[in-house]
Structure 1
């Protein structure tokens, strides 16, 4: 009897812990089919579907596209919304909102930096740990603000940076709860910051 119970436990453990996390970008057709346009007031720029031990989720990146021209699309507001597929509907798990701030020089647009966003299991516990990155630009085309938001167990852990040529107006701050993140996730974000500095010629540091 004990051997039988042990066998069942091993089978259960292998089933649970061998579940793979998956993530892929949705096409425009898939976005329409899933009726994801209903979750936001803004046009969807990109949508990602991911699955982990807790279920299937859709993460949509939306921008209000206030001014659209051949050269530029300028946004005054953005939203990232994560919803769970729930019996044919959507159950919102978390949301990120931001809008232009009153800086000098003036901010003219903000946008999701989706090449730096990720939906991966960063600490190997079987659950996806989304990372959302976005920035803003000034009227001179220079990057002004950068935010890196990590969602761990449905809580947000944020890095806020302001780029500036002068030391006293430059900043790089991590949330007070940052050290509550697992070390593997903190290491991933530290490497992402290094990558942003290198690829985008950013300072991402305090004065």
Structure 2
């Protein structure tokens, strides 16, 4: 009887824990109701609420939409901000900022690649490790830069890549602290790099 009771307690605690690892996209109405538009100067492209053992978070992706035409929206700056609701205000946990860089050929837009961004508990510790992916394109519509940022315990670990047909202008680097990440996290990101190479026809390598 005692074994059955302990088993039921384990199952119940497991189910309750599983319910705490979740995320969903916020509607425009929810963004306005929560006043998330007040934490950034740029239009919010997408907002996600996620919950883990640490609490409930709101993650907003913003792009400044500098030039808007019928075909494209071109951004010169982007920003991702993660906050917790704190007694009616917001407690910022981390943020990502980037902008166009001076390359030849010229970069004309930078954007979040949200189809490759994830909010998952990759190492099973009860906390979500956000993976943020964004890139830039040249005036010829080709991908120029790609960044993959892993946020682990509110610290950012970055992979930086510059795409180029010539060996001397191509690069692919990981932060020096990259190897301190849990193996499951590193394996997931390495697989994501392979996926990007395959689906977007990118090199993502040195020289």
Length-normalised TM-score, structure 2: 0.92
Q: Is the 8 A contact 1:75 1:109 kept in 2?
A: yes
Per-residue CA deviations over 1:63-91 (Å, capped at 9, x if unaligned) read 00000011010000000000011122110
Q: Matched residues in 1 for 2:70 and 2:34: separation?
A: 30
Output aligned runs, 1:129-148, within 5 Å. 129-148=129-148
Q: TM-score, normalised by structure 1?
A: 0.92
RMSD, matched Cα: 1.7
- 1:167-205 CA distance string (max 9 Å, x none): 000000000000010000000000100000000000000
Cα distance between partner residues in 1 of 2:14 and 2:128: 18
Summarize deviations over 1:37-70 as a string: whole Å, max 9, x none: 0110000000010001111000000000000011
Deviations 1:8-27 (A, max 9, x none): xx78x937982531111111
**1:14 and 2:13 are equivalent in the alignment:** yes
Q: Is the 1:17–1:126 Cα contact (8 Å) retained in structure 2?
A: no
SS at match of 1:140: coil
Unaligned runs of 5+ in 1: none
* Separation in structure 1 between the aligned mates of residue 17 and residue 93 of structure 2, nearest angstrom: 25
The 5 Å alignment of 1:1-207 reads 14=13, 18-19=17-18, 20-207=20-207
Aligned residues: 199
Please list every run of at least 4 consecutive aligned residues from structure 1 whose deviation after the TM superposition is greater than 2 angstroms. 13-20
